[in-house]
Structure 1
Amino acid sequence: MAPTIFRQGAFRFFFFSREEPRIHVHVTHTDGEAKFWLEPEIELALNQGLSQKQVGEALALVHAHHEEIIHAWHSHFGN
């Protein structure tokens, strides 16, 4: 299962159920996908096919929606 947290433009932000315990978010786009760690700080974990501009846009959205993503994580996986 891969619950969607939100969509913005061509980006979809989601996580895979029980992939790993460290809080992170996946981002897909028609051009590729990325994964961002949210702890201990927000950072790019993986990029497959996104341009630097797209990674920057996705990163800005992760920062803007950080609390929403963390809340969705805890709601889905528990504390």
Structure 2
Amino acid sequence: MPTVFRADGFRFFFYSNEGDPREPVHIHVMKGDGEAKFWLHPVSVARSSGFDARTQRRLAVLVAENASVIEKAWHDHFRD
């Protein structure tokens, strides 16, 4: 599970096995008992458990602000 970055106690990461065929670029987010998955294009919540709507909106902003970092890490890892 490569960690791409951390912000405000949240860990932003992806799994090394992201499906076959591989899913589109996305990022997982964990903190405490909460976990969410965000698509990058466009930035949207794919699923969320343990995060309220306000936190999901905050996470979406962090994902959008770091989209280029996330996408670069994804392509570097998977060598697309």
Identical aligned pairs, as a percentage? 42
Q: Which runs of 5+ in 2 are unaligned?
A: none
Q: 1:50-61 to 2 correspondence within 5 Å?
A: 50-61=51-62
Count the aligned residue pairs. Answer: 77
TM-score, L = length of structure 2: 0.90
Q: Which residue of 2 aligns with 1:70?
A: 71
The within-5 A match list for 1:1-79 is 2-20=1-19, 21=22, 22-39=24-41, 41-79=42-80
CA distance in 2: counterparts of 1:57 and 1:29, whole angstroms: 13
Aligned with 1:16: secondary structure? coil
Q: 2: CA distance between counterparts of 1:11 and 1:57?
A: 11
Structure 1, gaps ≥5 residues long? none
TM-score by length of 1: 0.91
Superposition misfits of 4+ residues, deviation over 2 angstroms: none
CA RMSD of aligned residues (A): 1.0
Per the TM alignment, residue 18 of structure 1 is displaced from its structure 2 partner at its CA by 1.9
